[in-house]
Structure 1
Amino acid sequence: MITPAEFYKSLPGDIPRLFSEWGQFLYNNVEFNMPDSPLHAKGHCERVLFHALYMGNREMGGQDSEALEILAHAAVFHDTRRLDEYLDTGHGARASVYYKDFCRKPDCDITFHPEAAYLMRYHDLDDKVGIEAIRKAFPENHERVEKLYAIFKDADALDRWRLGRWGLDEKYLRTPSSHLLVETARRLVNETMSPEVLDHYDRLVDSIMRNKNKDNA
């Protein structure tokens, strides 16, 4: 689990407690198709949880406990049903089914949030597709759910630093508070991921970019 004290202390208000509780829930209860993945397993989901709670607190006014719980659920379940390390379009939908089934268990002590299911179901698809689905499913409060969708997609995007130094393009972030976390997200990846893994993806992307430049020459 994330341990660097400076990151933990930077969380405002009641967020440290929520981060600790949902982080423990993630590690103790949630199962992954690819548990040993360096890119899409519990370490990634924990960092997304950090970003989602931080931004949710800022973007939703700080008193919306339900919104924070929705974001926490989306963060800890969103990549559980991945089948590979690449785009794997559809893994969000599979994760939403796993989340719904998990909450139906007789011994489950967390509340199912349909909003969380939609956040994770559409997080691997274009924003327009997700927003259209949200507006149909939540006609009376779609603006709130759309905001949560943007927060969650940014929380996931901030952890693209794990893909190397070219992993994140800040101009694609959607929410004001996400821009405040860009450097923290980079440092958090560097503190919590294997240097060998990071170096591998740096070299991989450098190679792709060199080949692309040759093709365009």
Structure 2
Amino acid sequence: MNAKNLNIKKVNDYMGFSRLSGLLNFSIEGNTNVKDKNSIIKQLNGKLKLNTKNMSINDLNLKKLKSSILEIKNVEDLLELNKKVFNGNTSIKNQEMFVEIKNGNLKLPKTDILLDDNKITATGLYEIAPNNVKINLNYNDENNKLLSLFNVNFKGNIKNIETSLDYNQAKTDQLIGDMLEKKMKKVIKDKLDNKFNDIIENLLE
């Protein structure tokens, strides 16, 4: 089974889901028990191949979240992140993904995807029968430890998905503390260097 250029908006209108927009190609390789019409979906197993085309995630602004995280100067700044992350959209780069189908449920194993030119590690589960979804997005940035401590979560029935932002508080507080300590040491060093330079200049006059 396969489909090309599936308009996500049409799926949204049918299922009451509004978090995605764009086009999608997909193909399914699997098997099920076709003799029992009531359990065709529940007994479906296989693999789903997805190709995204000009897709975006609505009401999620990962660009703003990243810039806000990188501008964090104290623990209080963490409280402001929720106000920024869920306003705007995030572009899903055209890419290929594979989803496992097990007993009628769709499972996205730990997968690196590109969202707004950022490498994001995603995991997910979609229970088809009750229409429940659970997705976790985590920055995968080896050059910035602070970014990797934050997670965006989607959870609930697809008609009423709850979104949340969480982070490892202990590690984040420690990392911010270390960053502030380094900044203070640099400020003190710069002041001492300036003072030393002033002394040298006075001696040379």
> TM-score when scaled to structure 1?
0.28
Please tell me whether Structure 1 or Structure 2 has the larger radius of gyration of its CA atoms. 2
Give the structure with the higher percent helix.
1
| Larger RCO of the pair (alpha carbons < 8 Å, separation 6+) | 1
Give the structure with the higher percent strand.
2
> TM-score when scaled to structure 2?
0.29
